[in-house]
Amino acid sequence: MTVRISIVLDCEDPSELAPFWCDALGYNEVFAQEPYVVLAGGDGPNLVLQRVPEPKTVKNRVHFDLHPDGPIEDEAKRLEGLGAMRTDAAGLEGTSARWIVMEDPAGNEFCVCET
């Protein structure tokens, strides 16, 4: 059995958030019908932006880890230029793993990772 995965991200305005995630991931908008906007690209899972009535109030229980080909600082700056906000940076002691915690324009957390 083969299982395909899509990731659904709740937000207040899918159409407003779609350009950020398209640019961030190199995806394209492939479907839009209220309350959804579906983004797809490459071999990755589809990202479904779903309108919900309630605002985001707490930290996401699931988040994206983005692993760029180049330096994570360069990627974080690129994402800031698209509207993301940097909130923290961290690393895993005793390893070369480090990451920058960011938020998309709707306040959803994600990380830019170097591992």
Q: How far is CA 114 from the centre of its chain?
A: 16
DSSP code string of the chain: -----EEEEEES-HHHHHHHHHHHHT-EEEEEETTEEEEE-TTSPEEEEEE-SSPP-S--SS-EEE--SS-HHHHHHHHHHHT-EEEEEEE-TTSS-EEEEEE-TT--EEEEEE-
| Residue 5, pLDDT score | 93
In a 10 Å sphere around its CB, with 0-12 CB exposed, 13-18 middle and 19+ buried, how is residue 29 labelled?
A: middle
Output the pTM of the full model. Answer: 0.92
* 20-24: average pLDDT: 98
Which domains, ranges and CATH numbers included, belong to the chain?
1-53 (3.30.720.120), 63-115 (3.10.180.10)
| Residue 90, pLDDT score | 86
**Region of poorest pLDDT, from 46-55, 71-80, 89-98:** 89-98
